[in-house]
Amino acid sequence: MDLRDLKTFLHLAESRHFGRSARAMHVSPSTLSRQIQRLEDDLGQPLFLRDNRTVTLTEAGEQLKQFAQHTLLQYQQMRHTIGQEGPSLTGELHLFCSVTAAYSHLPPILDRFRAEHPNVEIKLTTGDAADAVEKVDSDEADIAIAGKPETLPPGIAFSILDNLSVALIAPALPCPVRAQVNLPDPDWAKVPFILPDQGPVRRRIELWFRRQKISNPFIYATVAGHEAMVSMVALGCGVALIPEIVLENSPEPVRNRVQILERSDETTPFELGVCVQKKRLNEPLVHAFWKLLPGSH
Ligand SMILES: CC(=O)[C@](C)(O)C(=O)O
């Protein structure tokens, strides 16, 4: 097995986009296809299910992905110990993201970063996703994972990681709110809502109210942190609009108490990405991190 094939495979397994991975790995799309084909021939199993432009991993693909993550990480660490890598970067990098993003999108990026720069200390702070851009803007964090705001502050660079779906969630256990929303034609103006106090999700729920022609919504509570909104819905306090990934990463006892009422349409995609101050992009640590992102090529 060729380490380069494995590297390309891992990139594709994460980006799930042939064009993007081919560009990032500096190979032509046909070379990329050949590399994947070689691995598939080797294993005697398809690794991806392809349809038009998107790809999903098969069971064998998932297994190879884990193997590739492990192997490439160990290989990099070994190279460092035998001194094959150039002078390594040192220092601290302060990251900020939500608990959800720390579970969902941060690990593969940090794996890559730590493999290449094992001497950099990562200081991770978690908090309200809606604060992420501000944390970077105010220098409290060097790098943050954030939902893209409608207007990005001019000094902030944003590298997209994913397009998230946004869902309206309600309590699943019997309670007055569940009874209200499960009616054939709910009176949305009377349904209690849990809102984020600010940020791109707040903006989306305001648009949703407008579309539903609710001028005076019943706001049960305004909270900081999308994870807290899921808990409050699970407790039966009201309904909420949240990125679905927050629900997916909630612990089971919370997840089981929540139902999805509707997924919002694709007209307002929720872009998740990494942000940094543009003027800091040429600092060695920030630059090294930025370079590893799938969207920065
Ligand atoms: C914006 C963001 O970081 C997430 C993952 O979508 C969230 O926590 O809501």
Label residue 87 by pLDDT band (50, 70, 90).
low
Q: How far is the CA of 128 from the centre of ligand 1 (A)?
A: 8
Residue 266 has pLDDT above 60, yes or no: no
Residue 297 has pLDDT above 60, yes or no: no
The tens digit of pLDDT for each residue in 177-223 reads: 999 999 999 999 999 999 999 999 999 999 999 989 999 999 999 99
User: Which residues form ligand 1's pocket by a CB distance below 6 Å?
Assistant: 97-98, 100-101, 129, 145-147, 164, 226, 243, 245-246, 272
For residues 3-25, give the mean pLDDT. 89
Bridge-partner residues for 144, per DSSP? 96, 275
Around 195, how many Cα atoms within 13 Å sit in the side-chain half-sphere?
A: 21
Here the ipTM equals 0.96
How much is the pLDDT for 77?
79
Within 10 Å of residue 59's Cβ, how many Cβ atoms? 10
Q: How far is the CA of 147 from the centre of ligand 1 (A)?
A: 6
How much is the pLDDT for 133?
97
The CA–CA distances, whole Å, from 125 to 34, 36, 130, 135, 213 equal 41, 37, 14, 10, 39
Residue 224 has pLDDT above 90, yes or no: yes
Average pLDDT of the chain to the nearest whole number? 92
Q: Which of 244, 272, 274, 275 to mutate to test the pocket of ligand 1 (most atoms within 8 A of CB)?
A: 272
Atom of ligand 1 nearest to the CA of 226: 9
Label residue 267 by pLDDT band (50, 70, 90).
low
